[in-house]
Structure 1
Amino acid sequence: MSELTADAIETRPAGGQADPRAFVREEAGLNHLDLMVRGATCAGCISRVEGALLKDERVETARLNLSTGRLRLSWSGPADLAASYVNTLSRIGYPASAYEPELDRDPRQEEERRLLRAMAVAGFAMANVMLLSVSVWSGDGEMSEAMLGFMHRLSALIVLPAAAFAGQPFFRSAWTAVRHGHVNMDVPISLAVFLACGLSVHETFFGHGETYYDAAAMLLFFLLIGRYLDMRLRARASEAARGLAAMQAASASRVRADGMLEAIPARDVRPGDVLHLAPGDKIPVDGVILSGASGLDTALVTGETAPLLAEAGTDVFSGMVNLDAPLRMRATAERDNSLLAEIARLVEAGEQGRSRYVRLADQAAKLYVPVVHTLAALTFVGWYLVTGDLRPALINAIAVLIITCPCALGLAVPAVQVVASGRLFRAGVLVKSGDALERLAGIDAVVFDKTGTLTEGRPRLINQTELSEQQLQCAASLARTSRHPLSRAVADAAGMGPVAEEVSERAGGGLVGRFEGRELKFGSADWLGISASADAVTEAWLQIDDAQPVCFKFEDVLRPDAAETVARLKDRGLHIEMLSGDREGPAADIAARLGLDHWRSGLKPQDKIARLNALRDAGHKVLMVGDGLNDAPALAAADVSVSLASAAEISQAAADLVLQGNHLDALPLANRVAIDARRRVLENFGLAAAYNCIAVPLAVAGFVTPLIAAIAMSASSVLVTLNALRLASGQVQAKQKEN
């Protein structure tokens, strides 16, 4: 019997937390629960958390997203098992509670503040104790025993409380790991700090040798710098799921049995409820239209630029916007089962997959713990056997622990990422994910969305020169009264002017009104009884009285730098594709103008993800560039993703990089900087390895004290930082090369 089935089912979680059973939902015969897990920091944590839960045969899936801390859990047993699973996580050192995105604060924000406070305290202690150490060094042989003892006691008074506070991020993690039968990088770090402080206290009050308070403070300060930088670059990864949760928190107008309307939260809508949609309302849940006819703006959901005509029997989805006329709809799903909720799940699944990316620093760290523990233990045993004295054996073992502490390793990646991110920021690219540059450096395929990415995302009148001024002003007099995208395009082209009289909007058809004594109609070809052309462009027609209708042609204009960007990426040998939710005609036209051989149209979010997965299965590392809400799941699912500053908020949140100036030409530069950054990271690892190859034998041989070890460790950290700064110096040359 499994571990969980052997235990009695606990109906309340430990620690007085809210009962997670209240958050369990049943779908397709399985119970599902989302939990916020604290304390997970690496790929090993993912393995331990998921492995502990999967020991229970009833658990179908357990997926932890390292970036957000969100665990998606499903099982086939009773809902009462929820508390047992929460307590299991607590027992292995990962406390968890129900995930409530609308109420929950991002736990990483508080962790960032704790690291910043710890770093400040460690820096204060290091600066002050070094001043005292300088006095001790300069007065060596001349300072009285009483004054020397006073200096040591004053150093202890500064460092011991500071180390107890600043070392908590390492101590808590190390204690949790040891208590549950495993070790991590924080164990040797904590051991080095404890031993250095403990030996120094002994020397201060019971001996007359050297103390190493300054080494402990310096060690903590440099380690906290690396950890804080890494946390800052990881922190934004959870914005996508939180942004989607905020978008789902909408209201709805429900029609009561007596015909009256009542405003309710969207989360209270149930299947079968009849809802009223006024013009401008966002559809809160999935459903079907019962009565009325109106155009729907589906751009955020499908990427389609042309409005969708909705009438009785039309299926509609959450996130669409009613444009023209009132509608009545019947809800067919709750908010948590609507399209936006499905997109949120797709985004989350994509982030989980990406969180399994093994960073270069994680790969290097795998060797650190066993090697350091072995070296320190062998040094201690060897020196004790040779000298028979615990003091030199302990001092040399501490020196090994300190000199091998992963300050250089901890700074090797974050320092490069910070410098590279700053360089790209000055070039108009915001880097939001710490490991995005590593993933961007390895891409060999680029997938573009069409609408709003390769194109500007809004229709423009393209045959204005073929129209007379009178025709343009007549159409504009009607268009100025409408929110329809094509009407806005006409109004923008004509500029400010008068408005027609007696204007009425025919849902799915067009506008009717009078202007300067003439009867005007402006709308679709079908509505006016005209045969539509087969061109890729979008059309609207103007009829003045009984005259022959005049065609207004619209097109989603290609971004000025799209062709150049695609050409430069092609020149690098990258595979380029375009995936669009738009119709085949406009998509084919854009693909032809960009010279793209690989493109697809009419895709839903799931279809885009399927294509990305197919490319990955073929061995590609994929970069996705998109802007709409419908692109958010694909952005999260790609190996690395880019969004534009004009994109939907959720797309920016799901992306790893945001092009601030809405210029695609910054994309090749970002790829070049990422490749350079990876080279600097590898160089930093080489420097750290060379440092250890030289310093560790000296420490093992007894030629290095803990203080010298701390200085050498700090020097290696400064060296990798200076190497990282070389990235900034190549900015002008790289820009010139890219342009």
Structure 2
Amino acid sequence: MSCCAPGAEAALEISPAGGVAGPREELLLVSRDLGGGLFQTDLSVPEIHCASCMATVERALSALSGVEYARANLSMKRTVVKWRPGADKAPDLIGALRAAGYESHFFTTDTDPRSPEYSRLIKALAVAGFCAMNIMLLSVSVWSGAEGGTRQAFHWISAALALPAIVYSGRIFFSSAWAALRKGRTNMDVPISIGVLMAFGLSLYDTIHGGPHAYFDAATSLLFFLLIGRTLDHVMREKARSAVAGLASLAPRGAIVVDADGRRYVPIAEIRPGTSVLIAAGDRVPVDGIVMEGASELDCSVVTGESAPRPAIAGTLVQAGLLNLTGPLTIRAAAEAKDSFLAEMIRMMEAAEGGRARYRRLADRASALYSPVVHTIALLSFLGWLSITRDWHASVSIAIAVLIITCPCALGLAVPIVQVVAARRLFERGVMVRDGSALERLAEVDTVLFDKTGTLTLGRPHLVNSASVDPGALALAAKIASGSRHPMSVAILAAASAGSVGEAPMNNLVEYPGRGLEARMGTSIFRLGRPEWALGRKMPDGADGWLSVSLLVQDGQQLARLVFEDIMRGGARSTIERLRQQGLGVGILSGDRRSAVAGLASNLGIDGFTAEMLPSDKVERIAALTAAHSKVLMVGDGLNDAPALAAAHVSMAPATAADVGRNAADFVFLKESLASVADAYEISRHAGKLIRQNFALAVGYNAIAVPFAVCGYITPPVAAVAMSLSSLLVVANALRLGHAPSGNLPARQAASVHPDLQPIGAGS
């Protein structure tokens, strides 16, 4: 089914089952099922180019029955819609956008490497630049004292040069303005178009009637500088988009499926959970899954940021985008391509700009108010000067200057251009942003809390006593562990022989976050997990130090004692030190035994830690800190950390975290090193500083320039230059984010460790 053609929402398509699919069924086919009756549809809206466009698109979609969420992304020209289907119909998303003046189609990650919009902008910029440059040369002669026929000839030549710039270069703004006006609304291009056309029309009138002044230079220079700003903005967004396209290119177009009919090649979109997929050496993993047969090594750099190969055997979890290096593997698909980890990474990269933080909401509201306010000021300026001077020509000139100089391009760029650059810098450091507003929240934190296993440590423990464990008990533990993605479960599977797990699943397998796994076999109940929970009684705190212990228990009787060893994550010490230098309080919240947590905390020099916590305990601790006016960054992984990640002011998780943990986090770091946490904090603080500077520049510019324009001290040519320079200044200031060396930000006043994070005894 083609999902890229405009108007596809009204077409009838053949469903996978062979029947005819109507609009509702078609929309369901191209949407992601988020659970609970909620679906997500991604639409491509190529014609959005400013904050006003984004607001119009979001309002048009949000007004539809069943739509609960609509968010536009300017860089990717993508709009995410979350909706619930009605009894007999789905919301007409594409029809609603068409009624609002925007053509759209279902989003696809297949992108043309050379954007036609860039070519169009460059051509328009070249024409405007050539015309403006030559008109400016002629204007210098007029300003220098050319009189009579010479001045008149220069004006006519300027008019001839300005016409192609107005017609060809100006159409980028005119077409957008006309499309908005036809739908009874305005956008940023409306006053720009009015200002340019009025300047050209007044200049042409003066030329025809032999007037001493003409503003052809103002009209063409305005277009030239506006196009410079728009082209720079487009280039920056394309850079962010290229990172997304690079990730998308890691997904193969199809894969070899193994079923009862043999082997066949199918498109990746047709792979369903449970399907067996053969991955040859040198191919990338198409979807998330579990290795069923074969042994190989995987290049996991797309997930971890590290290029060292990782072994893959039966039971190993693999994610879309990983490169199979040495041998063939057969995997069982665990998710569709649109729900894979690689697709999630792409969505996270795109989401960085889409967040509506405080500054972004402020800029959007200011941009929405811009057109009526500017038109009112320009009209009042015209009427005021006309009543005072009775000179309609001078009054029109002042109104034109007001329209031009008050263009809110600088204000519109103040926040999104910094977010785009920040997202790019974070991506280069191996950090993915799931919500643009998280950048602002991260800059506000004063306390950082770390989970232990999988966060401060690598979370890939290995079984150190496998040789002394009964093979039958180890095989049974592996059979239970196969139903979990917990790091200890993975270690048990790795230690057990490939054939010991078997195919028959355990009955009623349930995972209890923070405790372990429980399963039934016949009339027996098996537990694998924390000793106290598995045996149902309190165990004395041993002297295992760094070691962690799990028990395999049958009906309350211990069958095996499994001892694991984990290692500290790279960069942990330096990260803790960098965070402290920034004045942040640092602590550990862990569900592990007190002895293990105390050993790690001592090694890292962390005084504040809490051990043996359940997920609810972590949430309560974060709530207590929040009530004490602390703003917490929670860094954790795993199913048991998801509530704490959601409860924190802002959260971060490694890419190896469980799906629920990644979904709950605001940031996901791909590299094994914990340095990504400090990098993200420093970049967010620098980005916040630049956003505030950009706001000050944009607001200050208008506060100074508008009164001068209203008082008649600024001519249209000067207004064009001033407006364009303000936009260029904002863009240049945002680009400074890429030149800030790590760790160079001024430290805050040292933050003491909150009393709630002081060392406590086990079980508290």
Give TM class, smaller chain: 0.5 to 0.7
Determine helix, strand or coil for the equivalent of 2:81.
strand
Superposition deviation, residue 44 in structure 1? 4.8
Among 205, 209, 212, the residue aligned to 2:208: 205
- Is 1:132 aligned with 2:141? no
Could you tell me which residue of structure 1 aligns to residue 80 of structure 2? 71
8 A Cα contact 2:279 2:330, kept in partner: yes
Could you tell me which residue of structure 2 aligns to residue 559 of structure 1? 570
Q: Work out the CA distance in 1 between the residues paired with 2:734 and 2:350.
A: 33
Q: Work out the CA distance in 2 between the residues paired with 1:110 and 1:376.
A: 35
Provide closer, same or farther for how the CA distance between residues 674 and 448 of structure 1 changes in structure 2, counting only shifts above 3 A: farther
Provide closer, same or farther for how the CA distance between residues 346 and 357 of structure 1 changes in structure 2, counting only shifts above 3 A: farther
| CA displacement 1:160-205 (0-9 Å, x = unmatched) | 3123333334323322322222222222122111111111112122
Could you tell me which residue of structure 1 aligns to residue 375 of structure 2? 373
Residue correspondence of structure 1 range 253-652 to structure 2 within 5 A: 253-257=256-260, 260-270=262-272, 273-275=275-277, 284-285=286-287, 310=314, 335-336=336-337, 339-340=340-341, 343=344, 347=348, 354=355, 358-359=359-360, 361-406=363-408, 409=411, 441-444=443-446, 507=498, 536=546, 556-560=567-571, 562-574=572-584, 576=586, 593-594=603-604, 595=606, 597=609, 610-615=643-648, 620=649, 622=650, 624=652, 628=655, 630=657, 641=667, 643=669
Superposition deviation, residue 280 in structure 1? 8.9
Superposition deviation, residue 151 in structure 1? 0.9
- Is 1:123 aligned with 2:156? no
Determine helix, strand or coil for the equivalent of 2:355.
helix
Could you tell me which residue of structure 2 aligns to residue 152 of structure 1? 155
Provide closer, same or farther for how the CA distance between residues 663 and 379 of structure 1 changes in structure 2, counting only shifts above 3 A: closer
- Is 1:34 aligned with 2:48? no
Could you tell me which residue of structure 1 aligns to residue 693 of structure 2? 680
The number of residues matched between the two structures is 621
- Structure 1: state its 5+ residue gaps: 1-8, 463-484, 486-504, 510-532, 540-551, 648-658
Q: Work out the CA distance in 2 between the residues paired with 1:723 and 1:63.
A: 27
Greater Cα offset, 291-300 or 377-386:
291-300
| Counterpart amino acid of residue 392 in structure 2 | L
8 A Cα contact 1:343 1:633, kept in partner: no
Greater Cα offset, 180-189 or 428-437:
428-437
| Counterpart amino acid of residue 354 in structure 1 | G
Q: Work out the CA distance in 1 between the residues paired with 2:566 and 2:257.
A: 38
Could you tell me which residue of structure 2 aligns to residue 222 of structure 1? 225
Q: Work out the CA distance in 1 between the residues paired with 2:72 and 2:721.
A: 39
Greater Cα offset, 125-134 or 701-710:
701-710
Provide closer, same or farther for how the CA distance between residues 296 and 194 of structure 1 changes in structure 2, counting only shifts above 3 A: same
Q: Work out the CA distance in 1 between the residues paired with 2:123 and 2:595.
A: 57
Could you tell me which residue of structure 1 aligns to residue 759 of structure 2? none
Superposition deviation, residue 674 in structure 1? 3.4
Q: Work out the CA distance in 2 between the residues paired with 1:89 and 1:191.
A: 26
8 A Cα contact 2:431 2:668, kept in partner: no
8 A Cα contact 1:576 1:598, kept in partner: no
8 A Cα contact 2:67 2:81, kept in partner: no
| Counterpart amino acid of residue 135 in structure 1 | S
Determine helix, strand or coil for the equivalent of 1:51.
helix
Q: Work out the CA distance in 2 between the residues paired with 1:250 and 1:729.
A: 38
Greater Cα offset, 170-179 or 244-253:
244-253
Q: Work out the CA distance in 2 between the residues paired with 1:405 and 1:23.
A: 39
Calculate percent identity across the aligned residue pairs.
Answer: 39
| Counterpart amino acid of residue 70 in structure 1 | T
Superposition deviation, residue 628 in structure 1? 2.7
Q: Work out the CA distance in 1 between the residues paired with 2:280 and 2:547.
A: 30
8 A Cα contact 1:297 1:323, kept in partner: yes
| CA displacement 1:613-649 (0-9 Å, x = unmatched) | 311xxxx2x263x65365899778755x4746789xx
8 A Cα contact 1:212 1:706, kept in partner: yes
Provide closer, same or farther for how the CA distance between residues 575 and 177 of structure 1 changes in structure 2, counting only shifts above 3 A: farther
Provide closer, same or farther for how the CA distance between residues 128 and 446 of structure 1 changes in structure 2, counting only shifts above 3 A: farther
8 A Cα contact 1:65 1:355, kept in partner: no
8 A Cα contact 1:295 1:307, kept in partner: yes
8 A Cα contact 2:294 2:327, kept in partner: yes
Superposition deviation, residue 730 in structure 1? 9.2
Could you tell me which residue of structure 1 aligns to residue 757 of structure 2? none
Greater Cα offset, 264-273 or 90-99:
264-273
TM-score by length of 2: 0.63
Superposition deviation, residue 354 in structure 1? 2.2
| CA displacement 1:406-463 (0-9 Å, x = unmatched) | 36546766898899999x89x989999999876654454557788998668999999x
Greater Cα offset, 122-131 or 714-723:
714-723
Provide closer, same or farther for how the CA distance between residues 263 and 406 of structure 1 changes in structure 2, counting only shifts above 3 A: closer
| Counterpart amino acid of residue 674 in structure 1 | A
| Counterpart amino acid of residue 379 in structure 1 | S
Determine helix, strand or coil for the equivalent of 1:597.
strand
Q: Work out the CA distance in 1 between the residues paired with 2:733 and 2:343.
A: 45
8 A Cα contact 2:298 2:312, kept in partner: yes
8 A Cα contact 1:318 1:338, kept in partner: no
Could you tell me which residue of structure 1 aligns to residue 505 of structure 2? none
Could you tell me which residue of structure 2 aligns to residue 524 of structure 1? none
Superposition deviation, residue 31 in structure 1? 7.1
| Counterpart amino acid of residue 215 in structure 2 | Y
- Is 1:174 aligned with 2:177? yes
Provide closer, same or farther for how the CA distance between residues 315 and 724 of structure 1 changes in structure 2, counting only shifts above 3 A: closer
Provide closer, same or farther for how the CA distance between residues 129 and 731 of structure 1 changes in structure 2, counting only shifts above 3 A: farther
Superposition deviation, residue 300 in structure 1? 8.6
Determine helix, strand or coil for the equivalent of 2:609.
coil
| CA displacement 1:478-520 (0-9 Å, x = unmatched) | xxxxxxx9xxxxxxxxxxxxxxxxxxx95389xxxxxxxxxxx
| Counterpart amino acid of residue 579 in structure 2 | L
Could you tell me which residue of structure 1 aligns to residue 619 of structure 2? none
8 A Cα contact 1:121 1:166, kept in partner: yes
8 A Cα contact 1:43 1:358, kept in partner: no
8 A Cα contact 2:191 2:371, kept in partner: yes
Q: Work out the CA distance in 1 between the residues paired with 2:326 and 2:714.
A: 79
| Counterpart amino acid of residue 224 in structure 1 | L
Q: Work out the CA distance in 1 between the residues paired with 2:347 and 2:408.
A: 36
Provide closer, same or farther for how the CA distance between residues 81 and 728 of structure 1 changes in structure 2, counting only shifts above 3 A: closer
Provide closer, same or farther for how the CA distance between residues 506 and 157 of structure 1 changes in structure 2, counting only shifts above 3 A: same
Determine helix, strand or coil for the equivalent of 1:354.
coil
- Tell me the C-alpha RMSD between the 2 structures: 5.9
Superposition deviation, residue 708 in structure 1? 4.0
Superposition deviation, residue 567 in structure 1? 2.9
- Structure 2: state its 5+ residue gaps: 1-8, 14-21, 465-486, 488-495, 501-542, 550-562, 616-635, 749-764
Determine helix, strand or coil for the equivalent of 1:372.
helix
| Counterpart amino acid of residue 568 in structure 1 | R
Among 48, 56, 63, the residue aligned to 1:48: 56
Provide closer, same or farther for how the CA distance between residues 611 and 61 of structure 1 changes in structure 2, counting only shifts above 3 A: same
